[in-house]
A and B are shown apart, each in its own frame.
Chain A
Amino acid sequence: MVERLNAWLREDPFRLPRAFFIGASWLLLLSLLFPYWRMTLQAPQYPGGLRVDVYVTHLAGDVNEVDNLNHYIGMKKLHEAAQVERFLAPLAIGAAALLGEALAFTRRRWAAVLSLPAMLFPIIFLADMYYWLYRYGHDLDPNAPLRLPPFTPPLIGVGVVGQFRTVAELQIGFWMALAASILIALGLHFRRTVRTALERHQALRIGPLILVPEGARA
């Protein structure tokens, strides 16, 4: 196994970082199909709890019921949030994935910049999510039947509103995007070490894996 991998790398040492970049862009694309974030509302009269799943493109779950409950505290309807982001998300993710993929086909140093959108995507998602949670908790209709002091629902973890206990958790889609980020970081790292080793005519090994054999040239 290792032998075959080594033989494969011997032909072109840049194959490893390239594999990471390609893998990362596919992971990021696939994450479109999975929820990034979930809020579960638990209350005595909802034995199974209520659930809202946030995908980068849409919302799913008990959105109507949650909206209906939220109207008592004057919270806006969930589907009105982040409409621009949800519209742009497939384009942005597509573009970020393409750029990540492009990285696989260039060895130029400056090309590392191309990886930024894909690498930063999970953080952007969290920041945007937090922004909307903050806005929804602070922009409450003053004419609502129940008036609450402004609050920010938890981005991750447990919160309490009235008889509702809310649990916010990151979901598989987010973890896929994060994994893509890490893969890109690893790709960049190996691209640099491979390039340095080639320039210095040094061998590069990780355990039994030979990334750059003795005497290889750039």
Chain B
Amino acid sequence: MIRWKALTVVPLLLALLVAACARRAATPVAGLPAEAQTVIKERGLSPDDIVAALRAYVPGGKYDEYVMFASGGHSGQVLVIGIPSMRLLKVIGVFTPEPWQGYGFGEKGTLEVLEGGFARGKPILWGDTHHPALSETEGDYDGQFLFINDKANARLAVIDLRDFETKQIVKNPNAISDHGGGFVTPNTEYVVEGPQYAAPIGWEYAPLDQYRDKYRGLLTFWAFDRQKGRVDPDRSFQIELPPYWQDLCDAGKKVSYGWVFCNSINTEMATGGIEEGNPPFEAGTARNEMDYLHIINWKKAEELIQAGKYEVINGIKVIRLQTAAQEGVLFFAPEPKSPHGVDVAPGGEYIVVGGKLDPHVTIYSFEKIQKAIAAGNFERDPFGVPVLKFEDVKEAQVELGLGPLHTVFDDKGYAYTSLFLDSAVARWSLGGPYRKDGAEPWKLVEKLPVHYNIGHIAATEGDTVSPDGKYVVALNKWSVDRFLPVGPLHPQNFQLIDISGGKMRLLYDMPIGIGEPHYAQIIKADKLKPFLVYPEIGWNAVKMAKDPNAIEAGRERVEVREEGGRRVVEIWMTAIRSHFKPERVQVKKGDHVIWHITNIERARDATHGFALGGYNINLSLEPGETATIEFDADQSGTFPFYCTEFCSALHLEMMGYFLVEP
């Protein structure tokens, strides 16, 4: 009897003990240790500073909850940043060759990607990246692809998020520059590339006094083939627009699926000429009280393409302005002058336009827009485009402060708008279906100062159909006094803001010492499923398939043959810690050299570089990757080649000689 009791009581006591221990472990340390107190005193930290530091701190070896993809501005690249730690994880080479990634320094595949972005054969080896766009499925990020545009040269790049590398750059055949891209439609059917500075379509010349007749805006819908992971120019199309300087765009979603919204800043059709006594662009484009929100029915545009109502210009289908205006593809709604951001609310019901020169955000109702279109109650602009009445389509206007630009959303019915002139983030309440908590709709709630001159703003999944409402990042153009001085070119400043609580709280300043980043998007980290090593030995990282020139250990060889009267030397080489095989490659001056290198490693992080000094060649061979270089051995001499990525204790010995006999 007693024994039975013991059997029940002892485990119970043990369980209690374990529970007590667990509770103890979970209880935070009461009061900070003396060392922490010293740091607090030395740096003069406030309790808010301490909380902010802890909120942004992610210990080494632990992962961030979110990943932010930020444009690298005119560095031409994309930045990958962990949130909330704000640690830089990677810089992805996109429009600019990137030697560490072996991007554009001899490797054939990457050279072909960059060549895709040449402008009529002219090498363009930089870009002004503006708006990264994550691929979406049903309006939510799916973590598969990232797109980004180059404003300076009207190009779009495709980055595969299995290896975070650029796979394709397409050059817009009819536009020199762009701005409002890339933005994806809710299932990534299209990546939208909006125009900015009007110019004659297809690189034509026209003097500025023919502005009204010859100059045009051009909205491009790049069709995306998800299976191939490539933009398909054959299925893509463009819509001709008046020369109103269209600015940013956003795709409608849910109830507004099938539509795209862009705003414009120069319905005045100013042509500048300050030197001739004309108003400069900055004044000329701001003369009218209203510009036009462009409302575009891309489903209807697809139908017109199907029906053959297009012209092919420079190899791409173009729906002419008159057709778009008359067939119900293009509508305008007045918007307060020279606005900037246009952002669609998570459910697609509202379109928010940031006033820029007007202290309001103007909210348009998609439902009202549809009613106004159905009622046919509109006038036409000089190009014949229907202009809806402002009062018919306006849902609300909220006065936020000076210079409202871009808007993102949370999961509690609030919107966050960047205020450039005020250097602040405004939190304001949405109305309609977003206001179930009884709070007053369409009202400024709170403003948080940021440092300084905020441009874009990004929120955790904040432009999808289901925002997370945890963090906002202010992408500030100026940092002025926020960091140690590093010469006259100051870093930009990304500021992390916690929006999960009752009040917004500034957590962290991250200096960006590369380019001027524009937009960024923030995805939940667990949606990304990147390769840790390439799936099989001999992987072609551009084609994302096994390379026909991949070889395994023991099959290394050098072949010499005659082709068109010259010698061609073809090398199949392997790389593994800590040697290349073969280590000696002998050619004669004038030989054409084709060189395939396969990294036969399977270990995570066992990347090898391959540098050939004097020939401008550097590769990054990630585990499993096969890369090919092709060049003429036009310099005789003795060229050591070596591994540029520190791989092992005998890394320095991982080299060989490329001998070019005179």
Contacts and interface: CB of A to CB of B under 8 A. Distances in A.
Interface string A157-172: 0000000000000000
A43 to B, nearest CB: 12
Interface string A55-68: 00000000011001
A72 interface: yes
A65 B650 contact: no
Contacts of A145: 578, 650, 653
B577 A68 contact: yes
B94 interface: no
Interface string B566-606: 00000000001110000000000000000000000111000
A145 B651 CA distance: 12
A68 B603 contact: yes
A68 B650 contact: no
Interface string B626-662: 0000000000000000000000011001000000000
A64 B650 contact: no
A72 B653 CA distance: 12
Contact of A72 (B601, B603, B650): B650
A68 B578 CA distance: 9
Contacts of B601: 68
A72 B601 CA distance: 15
A72 B602 CA distance: 17
Nearest to B648: A72
A65 B600 CA distance: 10
Tell which of A65, A68, A72, A145 has the most Cβ of chain B within 10 Å.
A68
Interface string B594-629: 000000011100000000000000000000000000
A122 to B, nearest CB: 33
Contact of A65 (B578, B602, B649, B653): B602
B143 to A, nearest CB: 24
Interface in B223-250: none
Contacts of B649: 72
Main secondary structure of the interface of A (DSSP, over half): helix
Nearest to B605: A45
Contacts of B650: 72, 145
A64 B623 CA distance: 13
Interface in A126-163: 145
Contacts of A72: 578, 649-650
A48 to B, nearest CB: 9
Contacts of A68: 576-577, 601, 603
A200 B602 CA distance: 68
Interface in A86-132: none
A196 B634 CA distance: 95
A68 B623 CA distance: 13
Contacts of B577: 68
A68 B647 CA distance: 13
Tell which of B577, B578, B601, B603 has the most Cβ of chain A within 10 Å.
B603
Contacts of A64: 602
Interface in B304-327: none
Nearest to A47: B61
Nearest to A162: B649
A72 B578 CA distance: 9
A8 to B, nearest CB: 34
A145 B654 CA distance: 12
A65 B602 CA distance: 7
B554 to A, nearest CB: 11
Contacts of B578: 72, 145
B557 to A, nearest CB: 21
B316 to A, nearest CB: 48
B404 to A, nearest CB: 47
Contacts of B603: 65, 68
A181 B1 CA distance: 42
Contacts of B653: 145
Contacts of B602: 64-65
Interface string B35-65: 0000000000000000000000000000000
A46 B108 CA distance: 33
Interface in B198-242: none
Nearest to A50: B603
A68 B604 CA distance: 13
Nearest to B61: A47
A68 to B, nearest CB: 6
B5 to A, nearest CB: 29
Interface in A167-218: none
A100 B225 CA distance: 62
Interface in A50-84: 64-65, 68, 72
A57 B650 CA distance: 35
Nearest to A145: B650
A108 B577 CA distance: 61
A65 B577 CA distance: 10
Nearest to A65: B603
B547 to A, nearest CB: 19
A187 B568 CA distance: 74
A64 B601 CA distance: 8
Interface string B548-564: 00000000000000000
A167 B642 CA distance: 36
A64 B653 CA distance: 21
Interface in B365-392: none
A145 B649 CA distance: 10
Nearest to A72: B650
A160 B603 CA distance: 21
A146 to B, nearest CB: 9
A48 B485 CA distance: 42
B428 to A, nearest CB: 46
A78 B384 CA distance: 78
A163 to B, nearest CB: 10
A145 B578 CA distance: 10
Nearest to B602: A64
A64 B577 CA distance: 12
B386 to A, nearest CB: 62
Contacts of B576: 68
A64 B650 CA distance: 19
A145 B653 CA distance: 10
Nearest to A48: B604
B601 to A, nearest CB: 7
A68 B653 CA distance: 16
A68 B601 CA distance: 9
B43 to A, nearest CB: 33
A65 B649 CA distance: 16
Contacts of A65: 602-603
A68 B648 CA distance: 11
Given A65-B603, A68-B576, 5 more contacts: A65-B602, A72-B578, A72-B650, A145-B578, A145-B653
13 contacts: A64-B602, A65-B602, A65-B603, A68-B576, A68-B577, A68-B601, A68-B603, A72-B578, A72-B649, A72-B650, A145-B578, A145-B650, A145-B653
Which 4 pairs, one residue from A and one from B, show the smallest C-beta to C-beta distance?
Answer: A65-B603, A64-B602, A145-B650, A68-B577
